[in-house]
């Protein structure tokens, strides 16, 4: 699999895993201290070939994603679930632990964020489906993020992410109905 865009990752281990999995070029942020020089490299890459932001599914990864998205509009986004990025023998989470298949799948399902945010999903919808507050909220958000391929988001960020990726309300409702049906069947 050849990737035209330049993939932005956090570090050397992520670059090594990407290069084992696909034919692609990367830019490393070297952790969450994304400096002006890195932003300029990413901006240049976006102008020339396009950029896919592919960071770890954890707080620092999401922070890096947000910094880059704000500084360089128009980037595409690829996501792994926490389960896909979990190390087998330790507590680490990161792209470097993912399988080649999970990386292929994430890159095949990139999201492009449009400038105009149009979604009719509301905060009330999130409460209605138990995604905010409640004992199963975190688990439901993880499942929703996996099915919709938008990654995990905390309660505060979920609505923003659903809007950002322009998830239709019908898709959201159908997905949540399926998640809740599976919970009843367990």
pLDDT tens digit sequence for 74-96 = 899 999 988 888 877 767 889 99
How many independent structural domains does the chain possess? 2
- 118 occurs within a structural domain: no
Domain boundary among 81, 112, 143: 112
- 159 occurs within a structural domain: yes
- 45 occurs within a structural domain: yes
- 117 occurs within a structural domain: no
Query: Does 107 share its domain with 145?
Result: no
Average pLDDT over residues 42-66: 92
Length of the chain, please?
186
Query: Does 30 share its domain with 76?
Result: yes
Domain boundary among 79, 112, 145: 112
Written as six digits, the tokens of 169 are: 């309300």
Give the whole-angstrom CA distance, residue 173 versus residue 48. 38
pLDDT 10s digits, 120-145: 899 999 999 999 988 899 999 999 98
Give the whole-angstrom CA distance, residue 67 versus residue 90. 28
Query: Does 175 share its domain with 106?
Result: no
The pLDDT value given to residue 114: 53
Written as six digits, the tokens of 17 are: 């895993």
Give the structural domain span for 47: 6-112
The pLDDT value given to residue 157: 85
Domain boundary among 112, 142, 159: 112
The pLDDT value given to residue 132: 93
Give the whole-angstrom CA distance, residue 71 versus residue 122. 27
Give the whole-angstrom CA distance, residue 23 versus residue 3. 6
CATH of the domain at 88: 3.40.50.140
Nearest to 9 by CA among 103, 73, 105: 103
117 pLDDT exceeds 70? no
Average pLDDT over residues 116-120: 61
Query: Does 142 share its domain with 83?
Result: no
The rounded percent of the chain whose pLDDT value lies above 70 is: 96
């Amino acid at each position: 699999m050849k990737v035209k865009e330049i993939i932005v990752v956090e570090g050397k281990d992520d670059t090594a895993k990407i290069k084992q999995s696909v034919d692609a070029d990367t830019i490393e942020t070297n952790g969450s201290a994304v400096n002006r020089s890195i932003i300029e490299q990413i901006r240049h890459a976006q102008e020339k070939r396009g950029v896919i932001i592919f960071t770890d599914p954890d707080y620092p990864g999401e922070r890096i994603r947000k910094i880059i998205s704000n500084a360089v509009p128009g980037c595409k986004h690829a996501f792994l679930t926490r389960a896909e990025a979990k190390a087998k023998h330790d507590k680490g989470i990161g792209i470097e632990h993912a399988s080649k298949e999970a990386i292929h799948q994430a890159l095949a399902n990139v999201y492009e964020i449009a400038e105009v945010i149009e979604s009719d999903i509301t905060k009330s919808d999130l409460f209605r489906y138990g995604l905010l507050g409640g004992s199963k909220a975190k688990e439901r958000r993880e499942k929703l993020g996996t099915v919709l391929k938008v990654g995990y988001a905390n309660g505060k960020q979920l609505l923003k992410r659903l809007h950002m990726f322009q998830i239709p309300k019908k898709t959201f409702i159908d997905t949540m109905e399926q998640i809740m049906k599976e919970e009843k069947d367990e």
